[in-house]
Amino acid sequence: MRRLLHVVLLGLLGAGIVHIVVLMLVPEFSERDAWSRLAMASDLYKMTRLDAEAGGAPVVKSVDPLFYAAACRFDLTDGLVRIKAAGRVPFWSVSVYDRNGHNIYSFNDRNANSGTLDAVVLTPAQMIEVRKDLPEDLQGAIFVEAPIDEGIFVIRAFVPDESWKPIVSRFLSQSSCELPDY
């Protein structure tokens, strides 16, 4: 009886360890992560709407209904990335994620000069080069130093009521994600 109890406990312990290892490895082997879904929807450096308001099924299913969102995949080995959006909306926020979906940096319209979205994502080495001779048109930009190669830039804009929907949609559709030639 004692031997049977010992075997059952060892079996349960082994099953628990295997279960935990499998759960920890799921993100590594998942092919339906945000990066993959965005890759199926658009190319690098192209803003893609994440909400259902853009038409069709949303790229990310858990988007807050009071926010519209757009995202852009980028590769910093190609150079620094500049994200801009013209216009005014009640509130916008931005997040930079690495390829695995870990949040690297976040800010909102309260951190930006005059409330407009103008940001540059770059590696620490690229930041050193830009600081040597800062281009005039980057004077008011927010610089995000990210120790990553590939990432996702997400813009979320608040839609307080129906009258704001076209304004917020225009804000996101006119946003850009590009490789400047500095």
Please say if the pLDDT value at position 26 is more than 90.
Answer: no
Please say if the pLDDT value at position 62 is more than 90.
Answer: no
Claim to verify: residue 38 and residue 56 sit in the same structural domain: yes
Q: How far apart are CA 111 and CA 129, in angstroms?
A: 24
pLDDT of residue 42: 84
Token readout for 74 is 């980028």
pLDDT of residue 69: 92
Claim to verify: residue 17 and residue 40 sit in the same structural domain: no
Claim to verify: residue 2 and residue 90 sit in the same structural domain: no
pLDDT band at 60 (very low <50, low <70, confident <90, very high): low
Q: Given strand 176-178, what is the order of strands in its sheet? A: 142-145, 117-122, 81-85, 176-178
Over residues 131-148, the pLDDT tens digits come to 898 888 888 899 999 999
pLDDT of residue 107: 94
Please say if the pLDDT value at position 151 is more than 60.
Answer: yes
CB 163 within 8 A of CB 90: no
The domain spanning residue 94 has which CATH number? Answer: 2.60.40
pLDDT of residue 121: 96
pLDDT of residue 34: 75
Claim to verify: residue 108 and residue 42 sit in the same structural domain: yes
Please say if the pLDDT value at position 59 is more than 60.
Answer: no
Claim to verify: residue 101 and residue 154 sit in the same structural domain: yes
- Residue of 178, 156, 170, 173 lying closest to 48 (CA atoms): 173
Claim to verify: residue 47 and residue 1 sit in the same structural domain: no
Residues 6+ apart with CB under 8 A from 98: 104, 146, 148, 150, 151, 152
Claim to verify: residue 94 and residue 166 sit in the same structural domain: yes
Claim to verify: residue 103 and residue 173 sit in the same structural domain: yes
Over residues 88-126, the pLDDT tens digits come to 899 999 999 998 889 999 999 988 877 789 999 999 999
Please say if the pLDDT value at position 74 is more than 60.
Answer: yes
Mean pLDDT of the chain: 87
Claim to verify: residue 145 and residue 64 sit in the same structural domain: yes
> What is the extent of the structural domain holding 75?
34-178
Q: How far apart are CA 74 and CA 81, in angstroms?
A: 7
How many structural domains does the chain have? Answer: 2
CB 107 within 8 A of CB 93: yes
Claim to verify: residue 102 and residue 16 sit in the same structural domain: no
Residue type, 105: Y
pLDDT of residue 35: 79
Claim to verify: residue 69 and residue 19 sit in the same structural domain: no
Claim to verify: residue 12 and residue 73 sit in the same structural domain: no
Q: How far apart are CA 168 and CA 139, in angstroms?
A: 26
Token readout for 148 is 């990553």
pLDDT of residue 64: 78
Please say if the pLDDT value at position 31 is more than 70.
Answer: no
